[in-house]
Amino acid sequence: MDETETAIYQSPFGAIELKVRDRKLVGTRLCRDGEPSADGRRAGAPSAAMAPFIGALRRYCRGQDVRVEAGALSLSGVGPFARRVYDELRKVPFGEVVTYGELAARAGSPGGARAAGQALGKNPLPIFIPCHRVVAAGGGLGGFGAGLEWKGRLLRHEGWTVTEGTIVKSNPGGDRSKTCVYAGSFDPPTSGHMYMIEQGAELFERLIVSVGINPHKQYTFSLADRLEMLRQCTRGFGNVEVDSFEGQFLVHYAQARGAGYILRGIRTEEDYRFEHAMRNINEDLEPDVGTVFLIPPREICEVSSSFVKGLAGFDGWEEVVKPYVPEPVYRRLLVSDIRWADQSGGAEGSAD
């Protein structure tokens, strides 16, 4: 028998631990935020046995179903009813939900909502068996083994607005004008970024805040750190989703995520010239995706990630930096051993 292989996949929603044995997926664990086991580890070049499952997660993060054959999922020890529940649940497509009662009926047990919930509570393969798509009657979130924070992230990714324990469809009828993407490097997030997020959440029914990854750029914080800071900063917004993308033009990413608009900030005349040119190029690439420009208030108009990092490290920097970053970012800066004051670089773009 083959040994069990373990890998950590750093998704935009948090770290996901995968276990594979005999070329079958035997376990999926959605790691809690800040777990030491999830820090800094990621699936780099997966083995031949692990590759199909890492690939499936990458597809899911791009807005598609995982699409793994049932025979590749190990359900050893799972009873007949739970197997029927899991089989029916795998038929629920990306972006749709089902109630516990409906799922039980589909599995051949009308009135078995409680039993279905118990089966889902023992689901060994979340996401691959998408138990996050099961909700309570009336739109309540119900339960989730990894916690409701995780369930909310996954449902937002699939187009739902989650507010105070209930969900509603963010983009009914596929109206792209209700969804907007706000992208940047967020290295780290600043009060200027938060202004843009707050305004975007007011203007649109669904706001996707996405970390763009430039392989030619060196970042101060890891992708996992930046995603976690953004998740903490946006916890109070029911219609904000945190995501990341790589190897795509921003406008193509927005199109793929069902967004009708891109949100951009303009701080300076240099920003305006750059963003004006990009807006025209984006229109050539994707005519159906528009651009919304916002100018931050005067008191934060000059705040950028480079500005914040340039202040850190000097005597008394803690009090100087505090007004320019959200509280979760400030706490992260205080425990970091990195000193940025000696870093140099050119001017940042408007969405740094």
Describe the crossing of helices 223-233 and 327-334 by its angle, rounded to 10 degrees: 140
Catalytic residue among 31, 131, 180, 233: 131
Catalytic residue among 132, 171, 193, 228: 132
Q: Mark whether 100 is an active-site residue.
A: yes
SS3 state of residue 240 = strand
End-of-domain residue from the set 139, 169, 199: 169
Q: What percent of the chain has pLDDT over 70?
A: 90
Q: Mark whether 131 is an active-site residue.
A: yes
Give the residue numbers spanning the domain of 78: 1-169
pLDDT at 338: 58
340 lies in some domain: no
Mean predicted confidence (pLDDT) in 50-74:
90
Q: Are residues 235 and 135 in the same domain?
A: no
345 lies in some domain: no
How many other C-beta atoms lie within 10 A of the C-beta of residue 93?
10
11 lies in some domain: yes
- Contact predicate 171/159, CB 8 Å: yes
Q: Are residues 50 and 93 in the same domain?
A: yes
Q: Are residues 289 and 187 in the same domain?
A: yes
Q: Which two tokens stand for residue 122?
A: 């023992």
Q: Are residues 153 and 241 in the same domain?
A: no
Q: Are residues 190 and 288 in the same domain?
A: yes
pLDDT in tens, 79-108: 999 999 999 999 999 989 999 999 999 999
Q: Are residues 23 and 97 in the same domain?
A: yes
346 lies in some domain: no
End-of-domain residue from the set 124, 151, 169: 169
For the cut 90, the answer to whether the pLDDT of residue 171 exceeds it is: no
The rounded distance, in Å, linking the Cα atoms of 256 and 253 is: 5
351 lies in some domain: no
Q: Are residues 48 and 188 in the same domain?
A: no
Does this model's pTM top 0.75? My answer is no
Catalytic residue among 86, 102, 123, 182: 123
pLDDT at 201: 95
Q: Mark whether 86 is an active-site residue.
A: no
H helices of the chain, where? 51-61, 80-89, 100-106, 113-121, 148-157, 191-203, 223-233, 250-256, 269-285, 305-311, 317-321, 327-334
CA angle 104, 149, 252 (to 5 degrees): 95
Q: Are residues 120 and 196 in the same domain?
A: no
For the cut 90, the answer to whether the pLDDT of residue 13 exceeds it is: no
- The Cα-based distances of 165 to 161, 175, 206, 237 in angstroms read 10, 24, 17, 12
- Contact predicate 246/164, CB 8 Å: no
The rounded distance, in Å, linking the Cα atoms of 230 and 232 is: 5
Read off the CATH number of the domain in which 130 is found. 1.10.10.10
Catalytic residue among 158, 228, 241, 286: 158
Read off the CATH number of the domain in which 275 is found. 3.40.50.620
Q: Are residues 241 and 280 in the same domain?
A: yes
- Contact predicate 29/16, CB 8 Å: yes
Q: Are residues 214 and 121 in the same domain?
A: no
Which position has the higher pLDDT, 34 or 323? 323
First-last CA distance in the chain: 49
Q: Are residues 139 and 5 in the same domain?
A: yes
342 lies in some domain: no
Catalytic residue among 9, 60, 86, 100: 100
Domain count of the chain? 2
Among 67, 6, 4, CA closest to 42: 6
Helices and strands of the chain, counted as H and E runs: 12, 12
pLDDT in tens, 131-146: 999 999 888 899 999 9
